[in-house]
Amino acid sequence: MSDVPLLRDTERTTGRSALQNNIQAAMALASAVRSTLGPSGLDKLLIDDDGRTLVTNDGVTVLESAKVEHPVARMMINASSIQDKIARDGTTSTVLLSAEMLQNSWHLVTQGVHPAIIARGFRMAEEHVRELLGSLALNSSREQLLQATKTSLSGKGHEAMQSLLATLALDAAQAVRFDDASGTSADPTRVKVLPQAGGSIQDTRLVTGLVLAKNRIHQEMPRSIGSGKILLIDGGIERRALMSDMKINVTSTGVLDSFRKKEIELLQQQVEHIKSLGVSLLACKEGVDDEARVLLNEAGIQAFRRVARSDLDLLARGCGATLVHDVQRSTSKDLGAFISSKNENWAGVVHWIVETEEGGATLIACGSTETIVGEVERSFADALGVACRLVEDDRLLPGGGATHVALARRLRRFAESIPGREQLGAEAFADALEVIPRVLAENAGLDPIDTLLKLVAAQSNGGADADQIGLNVLARNPSNMVESGVLEPYGIAFQSIAGATEAAISILRIDDVLWARQDPAMAEVPEMD
């Protein structure tokens, strides 16, 4: 064969150089969110291409808003996004843990340890940590669940806002809780958020049921009705338009009257069909003809039009109904059930409130400006996700870095039982876990090394509840996190460590990076001898 290189138009990095570049990219990404961790974490000002600004300290929001091209950095962002999707918290911790694992791995690689051996050590350490987490988990009470939800809001808004949103999130999670054969579940997508600019954050409240800024289509329709059947139409009750662009020459008024009578007759048939099904509440995605409004009012049916498809989906899930496209084809099987439906006037705006049998809730998010309302929405979404996870799994772990220090201490003892070089990987894993208390101390203005040494010493000499000793940022010293009310859900810590380990191992196993400088389809094929 000829000596013409196959990758002529591709930039290639291999071996240690590739690994070093990948780890540098991971560390650079971690540094972007490092200062946001913990109650003393700082905010980031994000500015998009249109000049719109957003102030937040949510790690995944910062990372997903950044324009990152490096593939390793994208892998880290994906791990953070998955953490946010599954646990709704711990996104910054995931990135920090993964980056710290990679940095510790680089120190071992420079000493001659093969990346594959380090990866095996990481995997052994992760399996042992999963077992240890179960032994550290605590049974929870309602008050502790509230404290854990509040802990997830650390650094987001002021103390009063955190307490209010944590309480509302836990109440909302209970409202969408349901039990089935597979266990207890809580679906956060069944909680609607209705933003209202004006007033203060303390005006934010939770309403049981679905709330829409809608008024009934006829003022004589009942303002409030009790339980009954609901029909959801993915369309409207309107006069049919011609199917094509055609012109009709009317030679006498009788023909035009016949057209109108037929249109009204078709509307009457639809209303009669709805009435025959026993429907007492109707919601349409599109409009309702004036003639149909009168007929529906006479039938005693409360009706609403121009309801968004997303809201119809929420109604369908909450009421157990099925969206229908054609009224005439609807059957009793398509109907759902509701507990109550009413119209209320809030600050001059009429709202429709539907309480459903399958549960559901609406958060009325208030704030003095749209920016503050947006922050309330984002904070509540995070708190709600955490609260729903707590409803499904109410096990808790001590916060403030206590769990990570306890895991690192026990993992080092486990590493001593590993005979091969994988022991070094397990020890590097243990060192990486301590990045959480170090960053918490750093963001609180404390010396990270001195603080970590105090935590380790306190746990080593603390007695029965030693594993619960973590960094109390407000008191600026080690203390019992359970007594201080600093708790975090078991599922968040579990998923954070698992996600960080997977990302670190995936990056660690890359030893060849190929950057194509042009479209591969346009590359020249070398001649064969």
Q: Is residue 331 left, alpha or beta, with left meaning phi > 0 and alpha meaning psi from -120 to 50?
A: beta
Give the DSSP per-residue string, 233-250.
ESS-B-PPPPSSS-----
Query: Quick check: is 92 catalytic?
Result: yes
**Options 91, 151, 362, 451, the catalytic residue:** 91
Residue 448 Cα distances to 250, 324, 473, angstroms: 88, 61, 12
138 DSSP β-pair partners: 396
User: Do the Cβ atoms of 145 and 394 come closer than 8 Å?
Assistant: yes
Spatial CB neighbours of 425, under 8 Å, sequence gap ≥ 6? 105, 108, 113, 117, 118, 119, 120, 121, 122, 124, 125
Query: Quick check: is 91 catalytic?
Result: yes
**Options 289, 311, 382, 467, the catalytic residue:** 382
Query: Quick check: is 450 catalytic?
Result: no
Residue 446: name the closest of 36, 93, 40 by CA: 40
DSSP code of 368? S
**Options 36, 56, 58, 356, the catalytic residue:** 58
- Distance CA(490)–CA(384), nearest Å, equals 16
Q: Is the dihedral of CA 263, 265, 271, 277 positive or negative?
A: negative
The angle that helices 490-508 and 115-136 make with each other, rounded to 10 degrees, is 180
- Distance CA(206)–CA(141), nearest Å, equals 22
Query: Quick check: is 382 catalytic?
Result: yes
Tell me the two tokens of residue 335: 């109907």
Tell me the two tokens of residue 467: 């594993």
**Options 36, 56, 61, 92, the catalytic residue:** 92
The angle that helices 490-508 and 15-33 make with each other, rounded to 10 degrees, is 150
User: Do the Cβ atoms of 494 and 487 come closer than 8 Å?
Assistant: no
Overall size of the chain counted in residues = 529
Tell me the two tokens of residue 329: 């084809």
Q: Which residues are catalytic?
A: 58, 91-92, 382
